[in-house]
């Protein structure tokens, strides 16, 4: 898996894209709606940093380096928290972390959820306001116009998101302390006249503070945007915001800043996250040989840098330290990303030890410049390696949405199991707000049915369908909730070792939008069928689609299961069981049934009465494992069934 960073590759992939699949903005931001759902990539805590006290002094500098740990602006610098702070929405950012403007509020829901999609609509959306700043004095100096005070920042339209149209805009306002009012549009820029135009570079904005009325204690500035306010539309990204004296419009064109601009790719070869026991079965197959770093220097001359990577367990105990030594790094403007493989594609000599349960690891990547650095905060990147009960290709955050067009359209992803397992359900990043009707000028609302399908492998693409579920529905939030919903099957489906394709089949011709990560790439594992057969996806990225599995448990030695089933008059459903199971009388109607549950060692765990032919046994208090359920009818008939408990 590699990051989406090379522009030539993007252009080529754009030409190859098939109209039967597509990308479109999400109507909500799951990363904010579900702040703790991140499964594999960066850690989004959804909390703000401590507020400041009093006014700030010059220089004011912000580069959003904390994006690995918070989705909101630092309250030590900003008074509001409407923007989305992230590591993936921009392309080739100056440093790790940007602030993204869109049409969503701080909770990830649209400002105007009932607004109909139009190509000309634009409303006020996000605001980012600085804390009060002392522009009256700087140390013992009284500031004035001649002190060359300026606000500098870098901005990008679109990036990995949606392109602002001509009616959309980004602007800067200044606060007039004496009159307690905002002076609007000190600086403003409209979106692209061509809405399909993608912006892949960051441009500099330089604003002189050349009016004496602003040189007061309590000065503030703010960014605002106009956008289509019913979804994640019309994206602008800002980075490296500096307010300081002694600036020069000609000289201030570069920063002496070293950074890892993206979260590096996973240390695993095939997935960003996978079940711990599947990893245990074949670590050499699953560990990567190397991983991808995207390191840049924003200065004007070559600097010497060092790089190291540390791995910590859940108790914050260091498990591994890999030092990759020093290397020269040219300026990004002339040399691009670091090309020295020692740093840009470090080898992996570490193997995660065998695990006994779900486990998370923290991976710390650290750079150091031997030639000075304007911001040391963005020299460190934190990454989180998950071993849970699901498979994932994505980095844990989505930048856009993926869909397949056509009634009955299908998609499926490829998975390679090392040991037998049970497919228990799916965890999917469906668009959390509204429905696809919004894109066709219909009212928001409506749910779209889908089925889950499992296919065999047919020479590298989905083959025979061997499992299909009952129809279920995407879970769309219309109001704020903070719980992510899994789609669990009533009866888990047994998967033998080997390659399987797991996916969904829709009913809506316009397709169902699923979150799409544009930073980790697994498009060779994603297939779609709009009615003319299976095709490999042409979009670089990863679908946010996580099969939930449970470790396969073999039948107990000595249990004559087939013989027991021949004489049994009862069926148990679901089995494996989680919170409860039901007992069905298959042949003779029994008005009174007694039951006993035995451990596999023969110890009685529980007994009681079932008063109807169809009754419920609560199993949520039983530990995972295999039990024998003995059933006795009023005619003294006895049946024994294997009961598997999987929570």
Q: Pairing state of beta strands 273-275 and 400-404? A: unpaired
Residue 19 counted as domain residue? no
pLDDT at 414 over 60: yes
**Pick from 199, 233, 528: which is nearest to 399 by CA?**
233
Question: Residue 369 has what pLDDT?
Answer: 84
- Output the furthest CA–CA distance in the chain (Å, rounded): 102
103 plus 227 within the same structural domain: yes
Of 388, 408, 434, at which residue does a domain stop? 388
CA distance 140 to 153: 27
**Pick from 265, 268, 280: which is nearest to 417 by CA?**
280
Residue 4 counted as domain residue? no
- Whether 410 contacts 512, CB under 8 Å: no
SS3 511: coil
Low-confidence winner among 182-186, 306-310, 400-404, 572-576 (lowest mean pLDDT)? 572-576
Question: Residue 43 has what pLDDT?
Answer: 37
Mean pLDDT throughout 197-217? 90
And the tokens for 458?
A: 């047919």
Tell me 73's DSSP state.
Answer: -
41 plus 60 within the same structural domain: yes
Q: What percentage of the chain carries pLDDT values higher than 70?
A: 81
And the tokens for 597?
A: 């549950």
**Mean pLDDT of the residues in the chain:** 83
Q: How far is CA 495 from CA 46, 126, 584, in A?
A: 36, 47, 26
Q: Which long-range contacts (CB under 8 A, 24 or more apart) does 381-384 make?
A: 381/68, 381/96, 381/260, 381/263, 381/264, 382/42, 382/43, 382/68, 382/69, 383/41, 383/42, 383/68, 383/263, 383/264, 384/38, 384/40, 384/41, 384/42, 384/43, 384/360
- Whether 258 contacts 372, CB under 8 Å: no
Low-confidence winner among 243-257, 272-286, 594-608 (lowest mean pLDDT)? 594-608
Question: Residue 32 has what pLDDT?
Answer: 67
CA distance 620 to 215: 66
Question: Residue 37 has what pLDDT?
Answer: 41
547 plus 574 within the same structural domain: no
Winning range, highest mean pLDDT, from 22-36, 262-276, 505-519: 262-276
And the tokens for 203?
A: 């441009």
571 plus 600 within the same structural domain: yes
CA distance 276 to 389: 7
CA distance 131 to 152: 16
- Whether 274 contacts 267, CB under 8 Å: no
CA distance 437 to 601: 57
Of 253, 283, 316, at which residue does a domain stop? 253
- Residue 287 belongs to domain spanning: 260-388
Residue 350 counted as domain residue? yes
pLDDT at 101 over 60: yes
Mean pLDDT throughout 120-133? 91
Residue 21 counted as domain residue? no
Domains: count for the chain: 4
Q: What percentage of the chain carries pLDDT values higher than 90?
A: 56
Of 224, 253, 282, at which residue does a domain stop? 253
Host H or E run for residue 534: none
pLDDT at 344 over 50: yes
Host H or E run for residue 65: none
The residue that leads in pLDDT, 511 or 470, is: 511
Mean pLDDT throughout 551-558? 42
Under the banding of pLDDT at 50, 70 and 90, the label for residue 7 is very low
> The domain that contains 544 carries what CATH number?
2.60.120
The residue that leads in pLDDT, 145 or 490, is: 145
- Whether 203 contacts 154, CB under 8 Å: yes
Residue 143 counted as domain residue? yes
And the tokens for 116?
A: 């109909």
Question: Residue 469 has what pLDDT?
Answer: 85
- Whether 149 contacts 220, CB under 8 Å: no
Question: Residue 193 has what pLDDT?
Answer: 67
CA distance 621 to 623: 6
**Pick from 390, 376, 302: which is nearest to 340 by CA?**
302
In the numeric block, the tokens 């912006």 are attached to 199
Tell me 234's DSSP state.
Answer: S
**Pick from 306, 398, 315: which is nearest to 362 by CA?**
315
The residue that leads in pLDDT, 586 or 506, is: 506
181 plus 53 within the same structural domain: yes
Mean pLDDT throughout 420-430? 89
pLDDT at 254 over 70: yes
pLDDT at 556 over 90: no
And the tokens for 504?
A: 């969904």
Which pTM value belongs to this model?
0.77
- Whether 527 contacts 536, CB under 8 Å: yes
Residue 468 counted as domain residue? yes
419 plus 541 within the same structural domain: yes
Question: Residue 586 has what pLDDT?
Answer: 52
And the tokens for 132?
A: 């009060």
Question: Residue 342 has what pLDDT?
Answer: 93
In the numeric block, the tokens 């035995």 are attached to 598
207 plus 61 within the same structural domain: yes
Q: How far is CA 268 from CA 115, 213, 215, in A?
A: 43, 57, 54
And the tokens for 428?
A: 């999917």
230 plus 267 within the same structural domain: no
> The domain that contains 316 carries what CATH number?
2.60.40
The torsion angle over the Cα atoms of residues 575, 581, 584 and 590, rounded to 10 degrees, is 140
409 plus 358 within the same structural domain: no
Q: Pairing state of beta strands 514-517 and 462-468? A: unpaired
CA distance 411 to 405: 10
Residue 343 counted as domain residue? yes
Question: Residue 582 has what pLDDT?
Answer: 79
Question: Residue 249 has what pLDDT?
Answer: 94
Q: Which residues contact 123 (CB under 8 A, 6 or more apart)?
A: 103, 111, 112, 115, 226, 227, 228, 229
> The domain that contains 206 carries what CATH number?
2.60.120.260
And the tokens for 164?
A: 């602002």
- Whether 14 contacts 541, CB under 8 Å: no
Question: Residue 149 has what pLDDT?
Answer: 97
List helix spans (H) across 282-340: 283-286, 332-335
Residue 5 counted as domain residue? no
CA distance 85 to 78: 12
274 plus 341 within the same structural domain: yes
pLDDT tens digits along 598-646: 876 567 888 888 765 456 788 888 887 778 888 887 777 777 777 888 7
CA distance 400 to 390: 22
pLDDT tens digits along 39-52: 333 433 334 444 54
CA distance 305 to 371: 8
Question: Residue 172 has what pLDDT?
Answer: 98
DSSP per residue, 425-456? EEEE-B-SBS-GGGGGTPPS-----EEEEEEE
**Tally of residues, the chain:** 647
Host H or E run for residue 30: helix 30-33
Q: Which residues contact 271 (CB under 8 A, 6 or more apart)?
A: 286, 391, 392, 393
> The domain that contains 596 carries what CATH number?
2.60.40.1930
CA distance 133 to 242: 12
pLDDT at 106 over 50: yes
The residue that leads in pLDDT, 35 or 368, is: 368
431 plus 452 within the same structural domain: yes
CA distance 252 to 309: 33
State phi, psi for 9 to the nearest 5 degrees: -65, -40
72 plus 206 within the same structural domain: yes
């Amino acid at each position: 898996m590699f990051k989406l960073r090379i522009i030539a590759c993007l252009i080529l992939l754009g030409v190859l894209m098939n109209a039967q699949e597509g990308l479109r903005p999400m109507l909500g931001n799951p990363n904010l709606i579900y702040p703790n759902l991140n499964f594999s990539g960066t850690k989004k805590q959804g909390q703000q940093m401590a507020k400041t006290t009093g006014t700030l002094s010059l220089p004011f500098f912000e580069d959003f380096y904390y994006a690995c740990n918070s989705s909101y602006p630092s309250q030590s610098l900003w008074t509001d928290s409407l923007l989305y702070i992230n590591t993936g929405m921009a392309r080739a950012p100056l440093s790790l972390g940007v602030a993204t403007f869109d049409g969503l509020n701080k909770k990830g829901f649209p400002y105007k959820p009932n607004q109909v999609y139009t190509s000309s609509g634009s409303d006020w959306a996000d605001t980012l306001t600085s804390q009060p700043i002392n522009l009256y004095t700087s140390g013992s100096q009284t500031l004035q116009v001649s002190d060359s005070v300026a606000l500098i920042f870098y901005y990008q339209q679109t990036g990995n998101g949606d392109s602002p149209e001509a009616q959309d805009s980004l602007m800067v306002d200044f606060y007039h302390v004496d009159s307690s009012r905002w002076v609007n549009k000190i600086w403003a820029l409209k979106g692209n006249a061509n809405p399909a135009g993608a912006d892949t570079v960051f441009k500099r904005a330089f604003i002189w503070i050349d009016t004496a009325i602003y040189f007061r204690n309590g000065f503030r500035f703010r960014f605002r945007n106009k956008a289509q306010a019913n979804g994640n539309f019309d994206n602008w990204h800002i980075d490296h915001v500096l307010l300081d004296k002694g600036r020069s419009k000609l000289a201030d064109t570069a920063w002496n800043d070293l950074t890892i601009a993206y979260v590096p790719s996973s240390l695993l070869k095939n997935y960003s996250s996978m079940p711990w026991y599947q990893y245990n079965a074949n670590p050499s197959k699953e560990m990567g040989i190397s991983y991808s770093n995207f390191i840049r220097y924003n200065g004007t001359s070559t600097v010497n840098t060092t790089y190291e990577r540390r791995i910590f367990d859940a108790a914050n105990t260091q498990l591994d330290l890999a030092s990759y030594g020093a290397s020269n790094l040219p300026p990004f403007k002339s040399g691009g990303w670091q090309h020295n493989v020692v740093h840009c594609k470090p080898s992996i000599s570490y193997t995660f030890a065998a695990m006994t349960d779900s486990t998370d690891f923290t991976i710390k990547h650290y750079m150091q410049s031997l030639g000075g650095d304007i911001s040391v905060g963005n020299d460190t990147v934190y990454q989180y390696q998950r071993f849970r009960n699901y498979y994932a290709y994505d980095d844990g955050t989505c930048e856009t949405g993926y869909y397949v067009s056509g009634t009955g359209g299908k998609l499926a992803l490829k998975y390679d199991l090392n040991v037998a397992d049970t497919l228990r359900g799916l965890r999917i990043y469906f668009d959390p707000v509204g429905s696809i009707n919004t894109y066709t000028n219909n009212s928001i609302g409506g749910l779209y049915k889908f089925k889950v399908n499992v296919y065999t492998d047919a020479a590298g693409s989905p083959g025979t369908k061997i499992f299909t579920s009952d129809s279920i529905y995407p879970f769309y939030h219309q109001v704020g909730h903070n719980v992510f919903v899994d789609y669990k099957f009533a009866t888990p489906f047994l998967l033998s070792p080997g390659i399987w394709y797991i996916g969904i089949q829709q009913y809506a011709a316009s397709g169902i939008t699923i979150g799409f990560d544009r930073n980790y790439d697994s498009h060779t594992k994603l297939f779609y069928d709009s009615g003319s057969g299976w095709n490999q996806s042409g979009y670089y990225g990863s679908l946010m689609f996580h099969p939930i599995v449970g470790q396969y448990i073999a039948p107990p030695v000595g249990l004559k299961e087939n013989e027991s089933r021949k004489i049994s008059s009862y069926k148990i459903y679901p089995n494996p069981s989680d919170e409860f199971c039901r007992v069905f009388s298959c042949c003779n109607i029994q008005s009174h049934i007694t039951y006993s549950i035995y451990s596999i060692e023969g110890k009685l765990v529980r007994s009681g009465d079932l008063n109807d032919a169809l009754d419920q046994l609560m199993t949520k208090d039983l530990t995972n494992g295999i039990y024998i359920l003995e059933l006795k009818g009023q005619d003294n008939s006895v049946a024994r069934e294997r009961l598997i408990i999987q929570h």
